[in-house]
Amino acid sequence: MLFSDITILDEFFEEQKHMYVGVEGKTISYIGSTRPEKDFGEEYDGTGKLLMSAFYNAHAHSPMMLMRGYGENLALSDWLNTRIFPFEDKLYSDAVYYATLLAMAESLRFGIVSTSDMYYFCEDMVRAVADSGAKANISRSITSFTEGSVKNADSYREAVALAENCHGAADGRILVDASIHAEYTNTEQSILDVAEYASLYGLNMHVHISETREEHEECRQRHGGRTPVQLFCDLGAFDTRTTAAHCVWITDEDRQIFAEKNVTVASCPVSNLKLASGIADIPALLEKGINVAIGTDSVASNNSLNFIEEMKFFALLNKVKHYDPTLVTPRQTLKAATRAGAVSQGREDCGLLKEGNRADLIVLDLSVPHMKPVHDLATNLVYSASGSDVLLTMCDGNVLYRDGEFLSIDIEKAVAETENACAKILESLA
Amino acid sequence: MLFSDITILDEFFEEQKHMYVGVEGKTISYIGSTRPEKDFGEEYDGTGKLLMSAFYNAHAHSPMMLMRGYGENLALSDWLNTRIFPFEDKLYSDAVYYATLLAMAESLRFGIVSTSDMYYFCEDMVRAVADSGAKANISRSITSFTEGSVKNADSYREAVALAENCHGAADGRILVDASIHAEYTNTEQSILDVAEYASLYGLNMHVHISETREEHEECRQRHGGRTPVQLFCDLGAFDTRTTAAHCVWITDEDRQIFAEKNVTVASCPVSNLKLASGIADIPALLEKGINVAIGTDSVASNNSLNFIEEMKFFALLNKVKHYDPTLVTPRQTLKAATRAGAVSQGREDCGLLKEGNRADLIVLDLSVPHMKPVHDLATNLVYSASGSDVLLTMCDGNVLYRDGEFLSIDIEKAVAETENACAKILESLA
């Protein structure tokens, strides 16, 4: 495909007008201000449109699509114990498959091509992502509340099978990550075991860290003053490439460890507001050179996968946290939503509109009234754009969403089957 | 028009499916679960759609559309002194007209039918709103930095002319409000003068109050410990129906005064984040029974008029401010975005989907993936919907926006003329 006479946001997030971008196979193979001589097949008229890197969602639980809007206005423990856990107890394979497929549809509609997705029923998730044409780093998250090795638990066996069967599946679109769910849901032994599994299979690690103040403080009490970050580091959890979600309550020492161990922080600003967890200190992370990406968390605590909206929350919250309107710029935000997420997933050739990189691209409508006038395009993208301005989403060179149509997903079936699964589970809970 | 077989959000913000709603002239004249016998003209197929009250924007400065994205990542004083004030110094009549027209287009696209709009060049704003078919409460905001009466100032004379010429114009769609810009931009005498003007012409009052901590504290120093709210109340500023924007730093005593004087608070959550002002305490206001509405403020500090997005910020911020996820429910939020705004504008027959009320209505697309599944529709509307889900906006029974088309505004001209005005002003500043 040749995107012709289109505005682009280049690898430095600067606007360049009247550009030509050629995609060949999975790759961006031409970017220039003149029409290429080569034939790239279909020509896409870029008038009034923007081409930029697609988004990478660095923390999510896609199957929780089933629980969007289920269990609202509740304290965290009530939310988990009276709504989420009983509902999750009734999940089944097809429910997870279709819920994940619907999550992929919503992701593509909002410009997300790849998701770091932690849950269970992972082989159903793999199937859904593979069928959707999108990418995901999928992890079977491990919890363990009893002493001793976790290696005999079903969850660990599932994680091993997942690594063996699915890592690199769907032509590399599916990667398998290791996942220690969190400090408060694991023992020191199970943390050691999962870290060992990650090293053994060469997997990235994906964890929840210091999401709530209670989690952070109770860890210190349980573990001789060590924070979750310090404990995880001591137990080798960061010895492969790691993404740590939330990190609302981490300390300066924790940030130092992240910098040294190249840990990515996946900040989930909307979910952290909705569950009343707090506001992660993004400027303190950026100052240390830490890779900061953005996650939606699940739609049960968001309740959408609207990544443009998520960027706005990400960019705005720290201004009030520190009473300083100069903090977290649009370009820092765009980088977090694109390149930083790709890096966190170990997809080094993704997340930048650059020749030779993967063609994970989105087209946005610049002709809509809410994107006018333009004093600075990056600013308009972060603060003025609407999620629905995404007109086209391409993953590895394949157009998966375009002008309201899902080209890889039977959206009516995905919706109907997800609704059926909800009804079935609610009935079994009644 | 007859909306047929449509889901509605009724006057209690509850979902009702398969309803019929008939509009006659400016009025909602039928709501029922059966098809009415009467002929309402065009039939609108409501399958997969939601009909609800349109939104009322309780605080804005529409002509600042010209400055969207101009002057970013700056401290407030730099923002005002190096960017906003010099730019505003170059404004002219046509620039304000087209910028306001573009703001009306964006408003209608995002479901806002009526805007409380404080600025200057007000007769140009009136023209634009009248031409757009939308509604507005327009006020010439008064500032005075010298002692003595403000009655001889041009600003006051303009305010008087505005009240005499435009209050009730465009068949009542235009109302004129009085406006004391703020405590820190006025003297006690000018506050008295504008309060007197409001009473004389029977106008609502629209003010900025305690937006920043500095403003609040410096007022106390200047005025013997009195807060802006206490000072304004003492000087009679609340003696007609008043809307107070921001109110981030007000005290319990201030809230007591608001409750007694029936003052509406127009909370501007996004702008208050973007300018690093703070988070208004919404639960404390609601507890006292105060009418709480939502404002976008200008797009220079937002930078959009996406009211669905604004609702999400409104609903989420206080959960973290108080570390309590139960605060500010979707229904409280929907009321703030609709009925509370209409009431603040003195439009008593607006803001509720109810027989006999004005037909200020919006249709939203419920068939999109991000609105599925539905456990609770009000929750999905506040947390999951995208601004662009608005398919149709009707004001006083007239369809002004539908499926991407603006029926009352030449959108290409509004955009082009706004861009021309920006270029002209920037050139004169260079």
What is the pLDDT tens value at each position of chain A, 430 positions in all? Answer: 999 999 999 999 999 999 999 999 999 999 999 999 999 999 999 999 999 999 999 999 999 999 999 989 888 888 888 999 999 999 999 999 999 999 999 999 999 999 999 999 999 999 999 999 999 999 999 999 999 999 999 999 999 999 999 999 999 999 999 999 999 999 999 999 999 999 999 999 999 999 999 999 999 999 999 999 999 999 999 999 999 999 999 999 999 999 999 999 999 999 999 999 999 999 999 999 999 999 999 999 999 999 999 999 999 999 999 999 999 999 999 999 999 999 999 999 999 999 999 999 999 999 999 999 999 999 999 999 999 999 999 999 999 999 999 999 999 999 999 999 999 999 999 8
Q: How many domains is chain B built from?
A: 2
At B77, is the pLDDT very low, low, confident or very high (cuts 50, 70, 90)? Answer: confident
For residue A36, the SS3 value is coil
> How far is it, in rounded angstroms, from Cα B235 to Cα B230?
9
Residue ranges with strand state E in A158-270: 174-177, 205-209, 242-246, 264-267
Chain A: residue whose CA lies nearest to B405: A368
* Nearest beta carbon to residue A384 from set B68, B75, B275: B68
Q: Does residue B83 sit at the A interface (CB-CB below 8 Å)?
A: no
Rg of chain A's alpha carbons, rounded to an integer?
21
Please check whether residues B44 and B117 belong to one and the same domain.
no
> How far is it, in rounded angstroms, from Cα A311 to Cα B304?
14
A 10 A CB-CB count for A412 gives: 10
Question: Is A342:A350 a contact under the CB 8 Å cutoff?
Answer: yes
Rg of chain B's alpha carbons, rounded to an integer?
21
Tokens for B23? 């509009």
At B80, is the pLDDT very low, low, confident or very high (cuts 50, 70, 90)? Answer: confident
Tokens for B95? 């620039």
Please check whether residues B304 and B285 belong to one and the same domain.
yes
Q: Does residue A68 sit at the B interface (CB-CB below 8 Å)?
A: yes
Could you tell me the CATH number of the domain that includes residue A215? Answer: 3.20.20.140
Give B230-267 pLDDT, tens digit per residue: 999 999 999 999 999 999 999 999 999 999 999 999 99
Maximal CA-CA distance, chain A: 66
At B184, is the pLDDT very low, low, confident or very high (cuts 50, 70, 90)? Answer: very high
Q: What is the DSSP string of B243-310?
A: EEEE-SS--HHHHHHHHHHTPEEEE-HHHHHHTT-----HHHHHHTT--EEE----GGGT----HHHH
DSSP code at position B75 = -
- In one-letter notation, the amino acid at residue A85 is F
Could you tell me the CATH number of the domain that includes residue B19? Answer: 2.30.40.10
Please check whether residues B375 and B392 belong to one and the same domain.
yes
Structural domain contains residue B316: yes
Q: Please tell me the predicted confidence (pLDDT) of residue B76.
A: 80
Please check whether residues B327 and B266 belong to one and the same domain.
yes
Q: Please tell me the predicted confidence (pLDDT) of residue B299.
A: 97
For residue A140, the SS3 value is strand
Q: What does each C-alpha distance from B55 to B99, B338, B392 come to in angstroms?
A: 20, 5, 12
C-alpha count within 13 angstroms, C-beta hemisphere, residue A230: 16
Give B106-164 pLDDT, tens digit per residue: 999 999 999 999 999 999 999 999 999 999 999 999 999 999 999 999 999 999 999 99
> How far is it, in rounded angstroms, from Cα A421 to Cα A177?
27
A 10 A CB-CB count for B82 gives: 13
Please check whether residues B120 and B138 belong to one and the same domain.
yes
**Contacting residues of B for A317, CB less than 8 Å apart:** 273
Q: Please tell me the predicted confidence (pLDDT) of residue B75.
A: 84
Q: What does each C-alpha distance from A396 to A135, A360, A362, A374, B371 come to in angstroms?
A: 9, 5, 12, 30, 27
Task: With 0.80 as the threshold, say if the pTM is over it.
Answer: yes
Parent domain of B218: 62-344
A&B contacts, CB < 8 Å:
200
Q: Do A373 and B422 touch (CB under 8 A)?
A: yes
Q: Please tell me the predicted confidence (pLDDT) of residue A182.
A: 97
CA A120 to chain centre: 16
- Residue pointed to by tokens 């009467």: B38
Give B198-224 pLDDT, tens digit per residue: 999 999 999 999 999 999 999 999 999
Q: Does residue A323 sit at the B interface (CB-CB below 8 Å)?
A: yes
Q: Please tell me the predicted confidence (pLDDT) of residue B44.
A: 98
* Nearest beta carbon to residue B109 from set A75, A370, A414: A370
Maximal CA-CA distance, chain B: 66
Q: Which of B297, B321, B344 is the last residue of a domain?
A: B344
Select from A13, A66, A67, A68 the residue whose CB has the most chain B CBs within 10 Å, as the one to mutate to test that interface.
A68
Determine the average pLDDT of the residues in B293-300. 98
Structural domain contains residue A423: no
* Nearest beta carbon to residue B273 from set A319, A372, A375: A319
Q: What does each C-alpha distance from B206 to B61, B267, B297, B401 come to in angstroms?
A: 12, 13, 13, 28
A 10 A CB-CB count for A76 gives: 16
Chain B: residue whose CA lies nearest to A213: B323
Please check whether residues B337 and B217 belong to one and the same domain.
yes
Q: Do A276 and B69 touch (CB under 8 A)?
A: no
Structural domain contains residue A261: yes
Quick one: CA dihedral A270, A305, A57, A313, positive or negative?
negative
Structural domain contains residue B111: yes
* pLDDT, chain B, mean: 97
Give B35-48 pLDDT, tens digit per residue: 999 999 999 999 99
Structural domain contains residue B247: yes
Of A45, A3, A9, A4, residue with least CA distance to A380: A9
Q: Please tell me the predicted confidence (pLDDT) of residue A77.
A: 83
Q: Does residue A296 sit at the B interface (CB-CB below 8 Å)?
A: no
Q: Please tell me the predicted confidence (pLDDT) of residue B55.
A: 98
Please check whether residues A129 and A267 belong to one and the same domain.
yes
DSSP code at position A225 = T
| Region of residue B220 (left: phi > 0; alpha: psi -120 to 50; beta: else) | alpha
Q: What does each C-alpha distance from A390 to A81, A132, A365, A394 come to in angstroms?
A: 37, 18, 7, 11
Please check whether residues A160 and A211 belong to one and the same domain.
yes
Please check whether residues A229 and A364 belong to one and the same domain.
no
Please check whether residues B108 and B153 belong to one and the same domain.
yes
Q: What is the DSSP string of A53-98?
A: EPEEEEEE-GGGGGGTTSS-S--HHHIIIIIIHHHHTT--HHHHHH
Q: Which of B318, B344, B370 is the last residue of a domain?
A: B344
Structural domain contains residue B77: yes
Please check whether residues A270 and A360 belong to one and the same domain.
no
- In one-letter notation, the amino acid at residue B1 is M
Tokens for B412? 């290409």
Q: What does each C-alpha distance from B354 to A105, B5, B360, B390, B399 come to in angstroms?
A: 36, 17, 11, 20, 18
Q: Does residue B249 sit at the A interface (CB-CB below 8 Å)?
A: no
Structural domain contains residue A80: yes
Quick one: CA dihedral A316, B60, B208, B143, positive or negative?
positive
In which element (H, E) is residue B59 found?
strand B55-60
Please check whether residues A164 and A304 belong to one and the same domain.
yes
Structural domain contains residue B25: yes
> How far is it, in rounded angstroms, from Cα A167 to Cα B136?
58
User: Does this complex have an ipTM over 0.95?
Assistant: yes
A 10 A CB-CB count for A10 gives: 16
Q: Do A69 and B322 touch (CB under 8 A)?
A: no
Q: Please tell me the predicted confidence (pLDDT) of residue A75.
A: 84
> How far is it, in rounded angstroms, from Cα B418 to Cα A138?
47
Q: Which of A344, A359, A382 is the last residue of a domain?
A: A344
Residues whose CB falls within 8 Å of the CB of residue B145, separated by 6 or more in sequence, listed in order = B185, B187
Tokens for A323? 């009473």
What are the residues facing A3 on neighbouring strands?
Answer: A21, A44
Q: Do A299 and B325 touch (CB under 8 A)?
A: no
Q: Please tell me the predicted confidence (pLDDT) of residue B208.
A: 98
Q: Do B306 and A386 touch (CB under 8 A)?
A: yes
Give B353-379 pLDDT, tens digit per residue: 999 999 999 999 999 999 999 999 999
Quick one: CA dihedral B114, B118, B120, B122, positive or negative?
positive
Q: Does residue B384 sit at the A interface (CB-CB below 8 Å)?
A: yes
- In one-letter notation, the amino acid at residue B231 is L
